[in-house]
Chain A
Amino acid sequence: MTSLWPIILGSGWIVGAILVIFAVLVLRRFLDERSADARKKEDAKITRSYLRRVAGHPPEDKGKRWSASRRLVAVSHLQSLLRGGDRSRLMQIAEFDGLLTETLRRSHSVGVSNRVDAIRLMQRFGSEACIARLRQMMARDRSYNVRLEAAFALAATSALPPPRETMRVLAMLERAPNRLDMALLRASAPDYSDQLVLLLKDGLSERWHAQLVDAIGWSRNPSVAPLLEEAAMQSSSEIRCAALRAASKLGQPCVEEWVKAKLSDPESEVRVQAANACVALGLTSAVDALAHLRSDEHLWVRLRAEQALEQLAPDLLAITGKAA
């Protein structure tokens, strides 16, 4: 039975270690709670000091040495409240205080979550140095999640690289598109609509072709409307749906005719998307065609047509009643 001792000792050690860790965490929480008021007051002082400096006044508590992490918290908080010149001045002062250096240093940490935290701070700083480092991380970080996070930070500061580079760095074409990919492509559309159009000629898979067509709708560039019409005539229903989504977003009157024509597309999902597009574009001239779709063979088409009529011609619905 002496062979059972290792089980007892092993269990005892594991449980003992867990209890010690728990005790340390409780103690840490207790000390945090005790110092919470003092910490709040100090945070308020740091914030006040930065606000005074932004306004050109001398700081309170001159020479006081607050930790970089506490000052970073205050700057992040203020940064979300300030606008325009005040915000730029705040970020300059933070850079003078060495907070940017600290953030850039953190962006080289071993831990993924530390690097992601640094990315979020750099996004807030938004200076040239930050954008350069974010681009570097997006291109070369060993973790896909970090590269993705850097891409979103760049998108938020309107500094995404051209779409072809974004797609290559994030290895988009090696997998099926997801909603984050759609968001990134849409984010690059206003700056790079020409490059998105060029990408369409690359012979990509239908799914990716559809994503690019969708993104082009976010370009705010009316000259892409004929290209959307061309996409709406393609054999792939996914691409036709994307063209309709893009046309809804672009909101140009010249798309009206072909959008209405898609209400009689042979594929039910295209007809559904066309009904949605009619609502988005406010096409009251499509009411007759939509009314016709209330007797479509597909339930979803009938439902969408009815929803579209509720918005485009509520009076018509009141008169004719709801479809069975």
Chain B
Amino acid sequence: MNLAHFASQSASVLEHVIFATALFCFAVVLLRNAIGLGQLLVATWVFATRIEPSEGARDLWTRYADLALPVSVVAPAFNEELSIVESTKALLALEYPEHEVIVVNDGSTDATLDRLISAFDMEESHRIQVAELQVTAIRKTYRSRRYANLLVVDKDNGRKADAANAGIGFARTPLVCVIDADSIVEPDGLLRASEPFMHDDGRLVAVGGAIRVANGSKVEGGSLREIRISRNFIPQFQVCEYLRAFLTARVANAHTNTLMLISGAFGLFRRSVLIEMGGYRHDTVGEDLELVTHIHRHMRERKRSYRIAFVPDIVCWTEAPASLEGLANQRARWQQGALETLSFHRRMIFNPRYGRIGMIALPQMILEDLLGPPAELIGYVLIPAAVLLGILDPMAALVFFFVSVVFGCGLSVGTLALEEHQLRRTPTAKDLLRIGWAAIVENFGYRQLNLWYRLKGVRRYAKRDSTWAAVPREGFNA
């Protein structure tokens, strides 16, 4: 009798646990989608009311070129012998009144440095490093005999953050633009990204810009010649993801002063602030996210008025992983980086001293990066199981499906609609349809796979795994 009673009590407790977990998973997914919808609405408002860069202002920008803050473009390069010359030429050709290109050879084991030396007629120089932010040794610096605004820094290998720090240390201009060596910056991308500094009264410390996936596009001489959409589904799914991230989430976050991430592929920063902070952290795989979080912390702890802006126009193109292996590495790394950042800055979370960053942005990051992935994955398994066991009404499973998958499709397609209405950078109606189809299909498999990869990132974080798994690239014209 007692055993039966115990069994019945245990079953009842289990039912309650399953019910409570299912409810929690549902609540997390619902909240994430509600935030997504809110961001889409805010982004729509921002785009609808924005004034496109004026020609009149551009004209004055040209007439008074000395008003444009000089920029150092820092491009860390590791084993880029095949593309470094073309990429550097494209950077030198950027439209901007005064910019310097600093290529940092991060201990490449191939002929990256030799290619640079011979292509740009470089000679050894004794350029003084203004601030030493890197932890590895600088071997030599080289100055081009043909291009006065090109500097090459050769250093021991130490990952992107260390290479970027070395470059920032050599910069002498008020602004530094940190990019990936394989990023394709739009010819006027630097000009557009620096435009917020025209209106700045001294508070602006960083500007991010929208980045798009270049897979399938025609790239020549380090520049984008023709925008095309890859026929491979994996890059197509990532086109949708990038649009969601850059055209809705970041636009909305910047509008509400809660922007937490400026992509490592392209970011413009005030050099003095980076130097005060000591540059990028070396002990994280998510250095770009950590840097912006650190800027918020640094400025708020010193009670300085500051602003971080975002330019919704596309300023840069990047190659996304085209294979599942590459995608898995990248997503696990992003997840690990997010958790590391949350851990480094945990004292900011729900701390009113850090204003909306502590009270809104970081809790949102917890929802997105800590609770979201496991909650959604568990929900996919637990809710149907609970329905089968008779713990939940079948209607609950239907609601979960609607809130997660159907609503997810809606948000992706909504972002595409926003892009088409405002920017129109998808080449043709056929491509638009193709991406629209991918935006729906991604919710049936790809999205769940991504959640799995992110859980792998959680595991790597728990194991303190600091190895850098390179993301295999196919090359732009593959």
Interface residues of A (CB under 8 A from B): 1, 4-5, 7-8, 11-12, 14-15, 18-19, 21-22, 25-27, 29-30, 33, 112-113, 116, 119-120, 123, 145, 149, 152-153, 155-156, 175-180, 182-184, 186-187, 245, 299, 303, 322
Whether the pair B413, A26 counts as a contact (CB closer than 8 A) is: no
Which residue of A has the minimal Cβ distance to B393?
A1
User: Is the CB–CB distance between A33 and B413 below 8 Å?
Assistant: no
Q: How far apart sit A116 and B436, CA to CA, in the bound complex (Å)?
A: 32
Asked whether A187 and B60 contact (CB < 8 A) given A8-B402, A113-B50, A178-B199, the answer is yes
Give Cα distance in the complex from A113 to B48, angstroms: 9
Given pairs A4-B396, A152-B57, A303-B130, 8 additional interface contacts (CB within 8 A): A15-B406, A29-B428, A29-B429, A112-B49, A156-B56, A182-B67, A299-B128, A322-B126
What chain A residues lie within 8 Å of B130 (beta carbons)? 299, 303
Q: Provide the B131-174 mask, 1 if CB < 8 A to any CB of A, else 0.
A: 00000000000000000000000000000000000000000100
A residues less than 8 Å from B432 (CB atoms): 25-26, 29
State whether A176 touches B201 (Cβ < 8 A).
yes
Complex: how many Å from CA A120 to CA B433? 34
- Can you offer 5 A-B residue contacts whose CB atoms are under 8 A? A7-B399, A15-B406, A22-B413, A178-B198, A178-B200
* B378 at the binding interface (Cβ < 8 Å): no
Of all chain A residues, the one with the shortest Cβ separation from B200 is A178
List chain B residues, Cβ under 8 A from A145. 51
| Residue B395 interfacial (CB < 8 Å) | yes
Closest Cβ of chain B to A105, distance in Å, is: 19
Are B199 and A33 in contact, CB atoms less than 8 angstroms apart? no
Choose the segment among B88-96, B227-235, B251-259, B414-422 that binds chain A (4+ C-beta atoms closer than 8 Å): B414-422
Q: Which of B56, B421, B424 contacts A123 (CB 8 A)?
A: B56
A21-B417, A22-B413, A180-B57 known; A113+B403 contact, CB < 8 A: no
Nearest chain A CB to B475's CB is how many angstroms away?
29
Q: Is B2 an interface residue (CB 8 A)?
A: no
Chain B residues closer than 8 Å to A179, beta-carbon distance: 67-68, 197-200
B240 contacts the other chain (CB 8 A): no
The residues of B that contact A26 with a CB separation of less than 8 Å are: 420, 429, 432-433, 436
Which residues of chain B are within 8 angstroms of A184 by Cβ–Cβ distance?
60
B contacts, CB < 8 Å to A: 37, 49-52, 54-57, 59-61, 63-64, 66-68, 126, 128, 130, 172, 197-202, 393, 395-396, 398-399, 402-403, 406-407, 409-411, 413-414, 416-417, 420-421, 424, 428-429, 432-433, 436
Q: Which residues of A contact B201 (CB under 8 A)?
A: 175-178
Closest A residue to B426 by beta carbon equals A29
Check A14/B37 contact, CB under 8 A, given A22-B416, A145-B51, A156-B56: yes
Contact partners of B198 in chain A: CB under 8 A: 178-180
A1 lies within 8 A of B395 (CB) = yes
| Residue of A8, A120, A322 touching B54 (CB-CB under 8 A) | A120
Give bound CA distance, A317 to B17, whole Å: 78
Report which of A8, A14, A175, A178 forms a contact with B398, defined as CB distance below 8 A: A8
Q: How far is the CB of A260 from chain B (nearest CB, A)?
A: 21
Chain B residues near A187: list those with CB within 8 A. 60, 63
Knowing A112-B49, A152-B57, A176-B201 touch, does A182 contact B399 (C-beta < 8 A)? no
